């Protein structure tokens, strides 16, 4: 049984026309004096899809993710702190929340990988030093 107001055939026809004209859910909800969820549900039942155009606001953190050099643990923690501060804000949409979740996961993974990388760099540097010492010892033995 339907819970809300029933849709007349004229309303369904007008809804279909507005969708074809590119109206968004908020405009439709206002035009039909219904909740956005009710509009989405009706569109779904009618087999129609609304093309959602996100605002062109630049909220991405891509510019901070393109460093010239490897970021340090401190920088990774600052990015993590910034993402957590942003999460405290109200009114974030689903895309922003997903982006922040990915950022937090990436920073945590990055920090772990960076720690391992630093260990490998240290081992590599020790091997280079040992190669130099071996080469020096070989020169001394040949003389």
**Higher pLDDT, residue 143 or 64:** 143
**Higher pLDDT, residue 80 or 56:** 80
**Higher pLDDT, residue 88 or 59:** 88
Question: CA separation (Å) from 10 to 7, 18, 19?
Answer: 8, 12, 14
Q: For the chain, give every domain's residue range.
A: 9-46, 62-142
pLDDT-derived band at 137, boundaries 50, 70, 90: very high
pLDDT, the chain, mean:
82
pLDDT-derived band at 10, boundaries 50, 70, 90: very high
Residue 111 near residue 70, CB atoms below 8 Å: no
pLDDT tens readout for residues 31-78: 999 988 888 888 888 887 766 555 555 444 444 444 457 788 888 889
pLDDT at residue number 57: 52
Q: What angle do CA 80, 60, 35 make, to 5 degrees?
A: 105
């Amino acid at each position: 049984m339907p819970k809300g107001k029933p849709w007349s055939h004229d309303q369904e026809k007008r809804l279909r026309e507005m969708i074809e004209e590119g109206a968004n859910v908020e405009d439709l909800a206002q035009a039909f004096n219904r909740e956005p969820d009710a509009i989405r549900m009706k569109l779904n039942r009618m087999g129609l899809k609304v093309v959602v155009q996100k605002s062109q606001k630049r909220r991405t953190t891509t510019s901070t993710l393109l460093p010239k050099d490897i970021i340090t643990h401190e920088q990774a923690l600052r990015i993590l702190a910034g993402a957590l501060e942003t999460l405290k804000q109200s009114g974030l949409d689903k895309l922003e929340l997903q982006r922040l979740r990915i950022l937090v996961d990436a920073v945590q993974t990055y920090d772990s990988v960076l720690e391992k990388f630093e260990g490998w760099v240290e081992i590599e540097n020790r091997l280079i030093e040992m190669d130099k010492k071996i080469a020096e010892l070989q020169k001394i033995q040949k003389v």
